[in-house]
Every structure is written in C-alpha cells, then in structure tokens.
Amino acid sequence: MNIIENKSLLKYNTFNVDVNSEYFIECNSKEEIKGAIKLADEKILPPLILGGGSNILFTKDFEGVVIKNSIKGIEVIEETDEHVLIKCGAGEIWDNLVEFCVEKNFGGIENLSLIPGTVGAAPIQNIGAYGAELKDVFYSLTGVFLSNLQEKVFYEKDCKFGYRCSIFKDELKNKFVITEVVLKLTKNPLINTDYSSLAKAAFDIPSEELTIKKVSELVKQIRRSKLPDTKEIGNAGSFFKNPIVDKNHAEKIKLEFTDSIQYETEDGQFKIPAGWLIEKCGLKGMRVGDSGTYDKQALVLVNHGKASGQEIYKLAEFIRKQVSFNFNINLEAEVNII
C-alpha cells in the first residue's frame, strides 16, 4: 500500500481545483481499501472515497485520508440466451465498461455513454442520461462498511434508487465503500431514443441501422456538442439537480414564460430544467474571474483556469439566490461539496 503525504488533488478532480490531501492512498484491491480505512482510523482522520473526482467540488484542502478506488476487472459471471451478468471492479472507468458492453452487443447502458467517472460511483447518484438510469440494469453491489470493515451485498431493492440519489448518497454517505458492481444486461437489446435531443439525432436513421452501437455514437455526439471537455475546461457536469415543483407552481411559471420547459413526473408533479431557469436569470455564459457557467449549458459550472473551489462555490450560491428570487425554487446541488 503506497501512502503519500500532502498530495495535490489537481489531477484527481475534474473541476481542476488545486487542493492538497493530508494523506492519499491508491487502492487496487478490497484488502488495500480495508488497510487504508484502518490507517485513517489509527490517525483519527476522516476518510474520503474518491473515484474519478467528476462529481466533487473541493472547497479547501482535505485534512484526512483520500482513498482512491482503483479496483479493476470486468468479467461475465453468468450468461443465458437472454441476458448476461457482468461483474466489474469499482475502480474501472465507467465508459470503458460501456464500450466493452456495446462491442459485445450487451444492451442497457449505451444511453449512458461517455459519463465520466468510475463504475463504483455510478450507483451513488444512480447516474442517468438520455432516457436511461443505472437502476434499470443494476443487479447488485458489494462493499465494506467504514465503521467495522464488515462486507455487505446490496440488491436493487436495498439501494433506494431515485433521481440522482440512492441510500449511498443519503444515509450511508461516507459510511460504505463500494468495491464491485454487478449489472444485468440484455442480449436482445431494445433501442431507446425517446429523449428529445436523441430522438432528433436519430430521426433520419433507418431502424435497421439503429443498433446500440449507433445509439452510443449519437449520445457521444450530443454530449460533445453541449458539455465541456474536462481536460480543457474544469467542470463536474450538471452542478444542480433539476427541481421538481407542484402543478400550481408549474402553471405560474408557464403563464409568465410561454417558452417554459416542463416534464410531468409519474406522481403528477413537474420537473423544470435547472439550465433553463439559470438561463432565464440571465446567467448563461457568465464569468466571475475564472469561475463561470458554460455558454452552451447554463447548468454546468466551469473553471476556466485557476478558479478556487471557494470561488466556484460562491458562484453556485449566487446562482441559487437568483433562481430562488426569480422563480421561488430552491436548487439543490448534485455535486458533492467537500
């Protein structure tokens, strides 16, 4: 186990924020993860599990032990005529797993192409995009409790998956390390191009050409056209969750803004794109020093260069206040603020 003191986290977070961690341990196995947890315990320091750092905003140096999960491995563990179960180490890059499955024509995660980060973090907020969510293909995961190093397997019913949430982002936040994930994919893929921008991109493509590989390519094209490349412009994707309001509130907004975009949820409420709200506040493409909002997607907060985590956080608070003032809606951060 390689223990590094006072390590820069610049390369370990996609906001490209320059902070240090008191201790940093990269772990390639469950045993190393357990060793790192023990070390944090001995030093009476808080541990922080880190994947790709693509959903984290560090606002200051981390006075604790960063445990970087790098457990690798992708393995088909069960296969029938209809489905496959794929076991994957939590430190695998999510998009490598997607590519592996698309190449083999295992369907179910092609709409989740090009989401940054690791497989182990995917269940934390039940990653979702272009009409699909992790929970649709989730089978089980295994991990270790930080408090006593006990291992536990969670099945779908145990995980409390919802829109950008799960038990691991809520009551088990910072209490459980995911070490491997099992997904159940289909060998008879169903094409899902219902999401509006994907439907538009797929419109002219004959149905026999619409394979999961094609869907994956279209999703990648759309994502590249509206999301900044983290290597060039630091960001963590959507900074806030899309808020959900009741019918009265949604109607009020519709009356004032005829171009308002609203999606009805299963329980008769309305989801409003936070990017649209921020744009309507006149904040799309704004910049304060090196922090700002992306000019093609207002929901993405960006670091144009040397913005600190504090500066990005202050900008997020300013945006929250403006949206609350103009729409009486409280935006909730999707990104984990440390």
56 secondary structure, DSSP code: E
| Positions 273 through 292 that interact with ligand FAD (CB under 6 A) | none
Could you please report the per-residue DSSP string of 200-227? Answer: HHHTTS-GGG--HHHHHHHHHHHHHHHS
Instruction: Return the residue of 96, 197, 310, 324 that touches ligand EPU, per CB under 6 A.
Output: 197
**Contact by Cβ (8 Å): 274, 243:** yes
User: Segment contacting ligand FAD (CB under 6 A): 121-129, 257-265, 272-280, 313-321?
Assistant: 121-129
Min dist. Cβ of residue 292 to ligand FAD (A): 15
CA 158 vs CA 21, 155, 172, 173: distances in Å: 33, 5, 12, 15
**To the nearest whole angstrom, how small is the minimum distance from the Cβ of residue 303 to ligand EPU?**
15
169 binds ligand EPU (CB under 6 A): no
151 is catalytic: no
Which of ligand EPU, ligand FAD, none sits in contact with 166, Cβ below 5 to 8 A by type? none
Among 9, 17, 27, 55, binds ligand FAD (CB under 6 A): 55
Is 275 among the residues that bind ligand EPU (CB under 6 A)? yes
Say whether 43 sits in a helix, a strand or coil. Answer: coil
Binding residues for ligand FAD, how many (CB under 6 A)? 32
338 touches 58 (CB < 8 A):
yes
Question: Using the rule CB under 6 A, is 185 a contact of ligand FAD?
Answer: no
| Binding residues among 217-276 for ligand FAD as defined by CB under 6 A | 227, 230, 235-237
Indicate the DSSP class of residue 323.
H
Active site residue 238: yes
Strand partners, 130: none
- Catalytic one of 21, 70, 140, 238: 238
Whether the Cβ atoms of residue 86 and residue 67 lie closer than 8 Å to each other: no
Closest separation in Å from C-beta 54 to ligand EPU: 8
| Contact between residue 92 and residue 73 where contact means Cβ atoms under 8 Å apart | yes
Q: Does 273 bind ligand EPU (CB under 6 A)?
A: yes
Pinpoint the alpha helices (H) of the chain.
30-42, 94-103, 196-202, 212-226, 247-256, 274-280, 309-327
Residues that bind ligand EPU (CB under 6 A): 129-130, 195, 197, 226, 237-238, 241-242, 261, 273, 275-276, 279, 284, 297-299, 334
So which residues are the catalytic ones?
Answer: 164, 238, 334
